[in-house]
Chain A
Amino acid sequence: MKVLVAVKRVVDYNVKVRVKADNSGVDLANVKMSMNPFCEIAVEEAVRLKEKGVATEIVVVSIGPTTAQEQLRTALALGADRAILVESAEDLTSLAVAKLLKAVVDKEQPQMVILGKQAIDSDNNQTGQMLAALTGYGQGTFASKVEVSGDTVAVTREIDGGAQTVSLKLPAIVTTDLRLNEPRYASLPNIMKAKKKPLESLTPEALGVSTASTNKTVKVEAPAARSAGIKVKSVAELVEKLKNEAKVI
């Protein structure tokens, strides 16, 4: 079966971001960018499905600036077969991204779409669910285990009190949680080979999708800083402070 994987170019998770002085957003100039960690897990799962003989082709798609080609090449080096970039310089909302992905799904007709559960920049946790709504497919969100058998997929999901397993009819949408797998690293020969794999460029206009949004970001501020704390010398002093100063125990 064909598997479609969506990946997002985001600020690297190790970067401590700074809010711009004019409160218009976060300063991303000259900041290291990477593939969103949950998307890496999605790519890895698709590659493992291919290694098991379940998946026959892996198409990786990204929606974003021209530079998102880097993240697509990374996915190709990890084992994806070909890539699609839907170029958009704007900051798109999850719904706009879901609509664009729906157009790609209509074109490619994959049996499974794997996305990360959330992007670590917007922290929305919406796109996979929205794509499932637009396609009418079943959704297996926050997946920690994915097992395909015949025309269904059993997805074990991380829920608040533990784990839940659901069975979905294929085609289906799966979003990955951290514990689904441990992504591999791209080897140098594979990085070289990935340069020759096909990468198709599209635009929202070509897909006939409007990216208009009902949301507007008014401003972005730094969170309130915590006032500096103190270091105590002993456990006895700590207990004394908690009892008499902070009064929390």
Chain B
Amino acid sequence: MAILVIAEHDNKALAPATLNTVAAAAKIGGDIHVLVAGQGAGPVAEAAAKIAGVSKVLNADNAAYAHQLPENVAPLVAELGAGYSHILAAATSNGKNILPRVAAQLDVDQISEIISVESADTFKRPIYAGNAIATVQSNASVKVITVRATGFDPVAAEGGSATVEAVAAAHDAGTSSFVGEELAKSDRPELTAAKIVVSGGRGMQNGDNFKHLYALADKLGAAVGASRAAVDAGFVPNDMQVGQTGKIVAPQLYIAVGISGAIQHLAGMKDSKVIVAINKDEEAPIFQVADYGLVADLFEAVPELEKLV
């Protein structure tokens, strides 16, 4: 039994979510192979070969895979993956984009966003915005699964010595092409990997006021997130959104500022170890999940907090 893990990368560096996905693969048990599909992604393949527990890295280098277009990558994964017992990818926007296409090509159901491995064929995953946990069993010949990174502690990035093998297979469906991308620039830690996350909601009133959160975040070495209300109001870009439809985080400390705590938002952060809520409405639902709640005006509390930490 061997497991194929799809590497998450940007052709230059391996994304940390890959390490969480390998951790899930290790829990299933079996030989772990990592597929790096990209263009000129040699450094990524080398990094993947060093991951603890990985025995082989497949490097598919082709211009058609440069931007991870699912029309081209999915046939490659389906072709290679047919010989494996499991195909795993991180539940990132990329993994979510590609893997269902692979599953349909292999004619099997997919299991999305698993948070635990019960056995080689049984997995747990949240449904209804995290308000219920389903245990799902698969009898598919190839089990196609996306892994919620925050559900698994990452394996060591160093210590492995896998062989790197070039894959010749080239698929270019010719139905899609990459036009461009616009990435948000940030010096702060990545939201999904940060140990501390400070998030603001509608209570921040405007985008300018997020400077209070940035100041606090910089002092704590934290990432800054936002609720959907703050994103929809145009305070901050949408890649900062935490929730069912945004990013799922599970940091050591989550500080929710001016966030009421709608079901949709809680789905993205309620697995945080410690939750702090700062809100002037003492009836706000966020206080029901907060370990420490402070009923106060955020414009007084946040600067004071920044001074004291």
Asked whether B130 lies within 8 Å of A120 as measured between CB atoms, the reply is no
Of chain A, the residue at the smallest CB distance from B290 is: A229
B244 adjacent to A120 (CB under 8 Å): yes
A13 and B264 form a contact (CB under 8 A): yes
Task: Write the nearest CB–CB distance from A28 to chain B, whole angstroms.
Answer: 10
- Asked whether any CB of chain B lies closer than 8 Å to the CB of A236, the reply is yes
Across the interface, do B292 and A129 meet the contact criterion of CB distance under 8 Å?
no
Instruction: Give the size category of B's interface with A.
Output: 35 or more
**In the bound complex, how far is the Cα of B134 from the Cα of A26, in angstroms?**
10
Cβ contacts under 8 Å, A215 to chain B: 109, 111, 136-138, 140
Q: Which of A123, A154, A229 contacts B292 (CB 8 A)?
A: A229
Residue tally, chain A, CB below 8 Å to B: 79
Contact of B110 among A95, A123, A163, A242 (CB under 8 A): A95
Q: A161-B239, A241-B292 are in contact. Are A133 and B276 (CB under 8 A)?
A: no
Complex Cα distance A118/B184, Å? 24
Distance to closest chain B CB from A115 (angstroms): 12
Interface: B96 (CB within 8 A): yes
Chain B residues 285-305 with CB under 8 Å of chain A are 287, 289-296, 301, 304-305
Among B44-52, B56-64, B98-106, B200-208, the stretch that binds chain A is B98-106
- Which residues of chain B from 187 to 235 have any CB-CB distance to chain A below 8 Å in the complex? 192, 196, 220, 228, 231-232
Task: Check: B126 CB closer than 8 A to any chain A CB.
Answer: yes
Nearest-CB residue, chain A, relative to B99: A129
**Is B309 part of the contact surface with A, judged by Cβ < 8 Å?**
yes
Which of B74, B289, B308 contacts A226, CB < 8 Å?
B289
Label chain B's interface by main secondary structure.
Answer: mixed
Which residues in window 153-187 of A have CB below 8 A to B? 154, 157-169, 172, 177-179
CB within 8 A of A231: which of B112, B175, B294? B294
Contact (Cβ within 8 A) B132 A217:
no
Which A residues are CB-close (under 8 A) to B122? 218
Which residues of B62-106 are within 8 A (CB) of A?
A: 67, 69-71, 74, 92-94, 96-105
How far, in angstroms, from A140 to B104 measured CA to CA in the complex?
17
Assess the B92–A124 pair: CB atoms within 8 A. Answer: no
For the complex of A and B, the 9 pairs showing the least CB-CB separation, nearest first, are A129-B100, A133-B104, A130-B104, A214-B140, A138-B175, A126-B100, A138-B176, A165-B179, A229-B291
- State the B residues within 8 Å of A (CB): 67, 69-71, 74, 92-94, 96-105, 107-113, 122, 126-140, 173-184, 192, 196, 220, 228, 231-232, 237-239, 244-245, 247, 252-253, 263-264, 270, 273-276, 282, 287, 289-296, 301, 304-305, 308-309
